[in-house]
Amino acid sequence: MDETRKPRAVVALREVAVHRRTTGQEIVLDGINWRVGPGEHWALLGANGAGKTTLLRLIGAVMYPTTGTVEVLGDRLGRIDMRELRARVGLVSAAQKVPLDATAHTVVLTGATGTVAPLWGKYDTATRERAHVLLAELGCKELAERRFSDCSGGQRARILICRALMADPSLLLLDEPFNALDLPSREDLVDSLCQLAADRAHLATVTVTHHLEELPPSTSHAYLLREGRELASGPADSVLTAQNMTLCFGRPVHVARHDGRWYARSGR
């Protein structure tokens, strides 16, 4: 496609670097160039300390780069109120603060206001109904009146996705959503992410994970980080190879794909 005819990028990073000044100008990220388009589903992988969290914080409008430019949803960091931009980006993280004793429906409602506690005066009938619709879409309809603290890890992950979708974002960031899930919960979440990709053609997602087995078949692209620099990026099939994964994690890795899913194991 002609570059001038490409749809506007959801995320665009150009020559981005991040230096951690508190530790003597340590370079956390360097020379990062990345474009995420509408409807693309990216996996972000790398060893611990590779810079994944920092990169996610940049595109989540939580921090500024030291050098380079970061554009999210058409707005450049430094030229827009970060709070306003964050309200248009969906984030799912196990570290998110939500009212644990509230029902799943109430937790989802808080996504409409971007608050920890519900602001009941802000939720009209349409907003409340939208929360129910999203719970049904993610296979959590029966959990609407269950306390969030009583839900399983997999159920919580899907409820948090519903919460993130309340603002109808064009970009959804998933920060290790499979962390500590058992096998059935992982597979339920994989199915939900596939359905989400099928139902929302223009939604772009970025999923941080350590395990190829967690990637849904809807994953279209992958970005590999090694020591703060891009190792490889592009279509998932060309990036998630044994050679690239071996370089990324610093030990032999065998990669296979079956029925649209990736599998990896360390070699001897």
Q: What is the pLDDT of residue 59?
A: 96
Spell out a b/e string for 19-54, using b for 16 or more CB atoms within 10 Å of the CB, else e.
Answer: beeeeeeeebbbebebebbebbbbbbbbbeebbbbb
Q: For position 268, what pLDDT does the model report?
A: 66
Closest CA to 229 of 30, 49, 91, 82: 30
Q: Residue 17 is which amino acid?
A: A
Distance separating alpha carbons of residues 78 and 93, to the nearest angstrom: 25
Please report the pLDDT score of residue 4 as a whole number: 52
CB 92 within 8 A of CB 165: no
Domain residue spans of the chain: 95-168
Residue 1 exposed, middle or buried by CB count within 10 Å (0-12, 13-18, 19+): exposed
- pLDDT tens-digit readout, 150-195: 999 899 999 999 999 999 999 999 999 998 899 999 999 999 999 9
- What is the CA 26 to chain-centroid distance, rounded? 26
Task: Categorize the per-residue pLDDT at 230 as very low, low, confident or very high, splitting at 50, 70 and 90.
Answer: very high
Which residues partner with 180 through β-bridges? Answer: none
Question: Token pair 């001038």 is at which residue?
Answer: 4
The whole-model pTM stands at 0.91
User: Residue 147 has what DSSP assignment?
Assistant: B
Handedness of CA 105, 111, 113, 114 (dihedral sign): positive
| pLDDT confidence of residue 143 | 96
